[in-house]
Amino acid sequence: MAKKTPETVSINERSKDAALEKDRSDPTGQRLTTDLGVPVEDTDNSLRVGARGPTLLEDFHLREKIMRFDHERIPERVVHARGSAAHGYFQVYESLAEYTKAKVFQDPSKKTPVFVRFSTVAGSRGSADTARDVRGFAVKFYTEEGNWDLVGNNIPVFFIQDGIKFPDVVHAAKPEPHHEIPQAATAHNSFWDFVSLVPETAHMIMWIMSDRAIPRSFRMMEGFGVHTFRLVNAQGVSRFVKFHWKPVLGVHSLVWDESQKLGGKDPDFHRRDLWESIEKGHFPEWELGLQIIEEADADKLGIELLDATKIIPEELVPVRRVGKLVLNRNPTNFFAETEQVAFCTANVVPGIDFTDDPLLQARNFSYLDTQLTRLGGPNFNQLPINRPLAPVHNFQQDGFQRHTIDVGRANYFPNSLGGGCPFLASAEQGAYRHFPEKVTGEKIRKRAESFQDHFSQAGLFFRSMSKPEREHIILALQFELGKVEREEVRKRVVDQILVNIDSELATEVAEGLGLPVPVMTAVKGKIEKVAESLGVPRLDKSPALSMENQKKDSIKTRRIGVLIGDGFDAADLQATKAAIEKAGGELVLISRRLGTVKGSDGQSVKVDKSAVTTGSFEYDAVFVPGGAPSVAVLKKDGDSLHFIQEAYRHCKAIGVTKEAAELLQAGGLSASSPGVVVGAAGGQDFPEKFIEAIAQHRHWSRHDKDLIPA
Ligand code: HDE
Q: Ligand 1 pocket: which of 201, 218, 343 to mutate (most atoms <8 Å of CB)? A: 343
What pLDDT is recorded for position 531? 64
Note whether 458 and 206 are within 8 A (CB).
Answer: yes
Note whether 659 and 629 are within 8 A (CB).
Answer: no
Query: Residue 173 Cα, ligand 1 centroid: separation in angstroms?
Result: 14
Query: Residue 79 Cα, ligand 1 centroid: separation in angstroms?
Result: 7
Query: Residue 363 Cα, ligand 1 centroid: separation in angstroms?
Result: 7
Note whether 665 and 656 are within 8 A (CB).
Answer: no
Query: Residue 364 Cα, ligand 1 centroid: separation in angstroms?
Result: 10
Residues of the chain with pLDDT under 70: 1-2, 520-531, 534-537, 681-682
Q: Which atom of ligand 1 approaches the CA of 138 most closely?
A: 43
What pLDDT is recorded for position 528? 62
**Distance between the two ends of the chain, CA-based, in angstroms?**
80
What pLDDT is recorded for position 710? 82
**Distance, CA of 339 to CA of 72 (rounded, Å):** 12
Note whether 632 and 662 are within 8 A (CB).
Answer: no
Q: Which atom of ligand 1 approaches the CA of 80 most closely?
A: 29
**pLDDT for 233-243, tens place per residue?**
999 999 999 99
The CATH number of 552-707 is 3.40.50.880
Catalytic, out of 61, 87, 147, 153: 153
**Distance, CA of 612 to CA of 432 (rounded, Å):** 58
Q: Which atom of ligand 1 approaches the CA of 227 most closely?
A: 32
Residue 444: φ, ψ to 5° = -140, 155
Count of other CB atoms within 10 angstroms of residue 645:
22
649 is in an annotated binding site: no
**Distance, CA of 576 to CA of 599 (rounded, Å):** 14
Q: Which atom of ligand 1 approaches the CA of 359 most closely?
A: 31
Question: Nearest C-alpha to atom 3 of ligand 1 is from which residue?
Answer: 363
Picking from 618, 614, 622, 698, the residue whose alpha carbon sits closest to that of residue 667 is 622
Question: Nearest C-alpha to atom 32 of ligand 1 is from which residue?
Answer: 152
363 is in an annotated binding site: yes
Query: Residue 444 Cα, ligand 1 centroid: separation in angstroms?
Result: 26
* Protein residues whose CB sits closer than 6 Å to any atom of ligand 1: 77-80, 83, 117, 119, 136, 138, 151-153, 158, 163, 166, 226, 308, 341-343, 359, 362-363, 366-367, 370-371
**Distance, CA of 199 to CA of 459 (rounded, Å):** 13
Q: Which atom of ligand 1 approaches the CA of 83 most closely?
A: 11
Question: Nearest C-alpha to atom 27 of ligand 1 is from which residue?
Answer: 163
Question: What residue type is assigned to position 28 of the chain?
Answer: T
Residue 293: φ, ψ to 5° = -125, 120
What pLDDT is recorded for position 184? 98
Q: Ligand 1 pocket: which of 74, 76, 80, 207 to mutate (most atoms <8 Å of CB)? A: 80
Picking from 468, 472, 467, 512, the residue whose alpha carbon sits closest to that of residue 494 is 512
**Known catalytic membership, residue 80:** yes
Note whether 653 and 621 are within 8 A (CB).
Answer: yes
Radius of gyration of the chain (CA): 29
What pLDDT is recorded for position 214? 98
Q: Is 461 helix (H, G, I), strand (E, B) or coil?
A: helix
What is the rounded (10 degree) CA torsion for 562, 566, 572, 578?
60
Please tell me what DSSP assigns to residue 41: S
Please tell me what DSSP assigns to residue 318: P
What pLDDT is recorded for position 2? 63
What pLDDT is recorded for position 703? 85
Residue 599: φ, ψ to 5° = -85, 175
Q: Is 395 helix (H, G, I), strand (E, B) or coil?
A: coil
Question: Nearest C-alpha to atom 25 of ligand 1 is from which residue?
Answer: 80
- Measured in residues, the chain has a length of 710
**pLDDT for 159-200, tens place per residue?**
999 999 999 999 999 999 999 999 999 999 999 999 999 999
What is the rounded (10 degree) CA torsion for 229, 233, 235, 239?
-40
**Distance, CA of 590 to CA of 614 (rounded, Å):** 8
Note whether 239 and 295 are within 8 A (CB).
Answer: yes
Question: Nearest C-alpha to atom 22 of ligand 1 is from which residue?
Answer: 367
Question: Nearest C-alpha to atom 7 of ligand 1 is from which residue?
Answer: 367
Q: Is 591 helix (H, G, I), strand (E, B) or coil?
A: strand
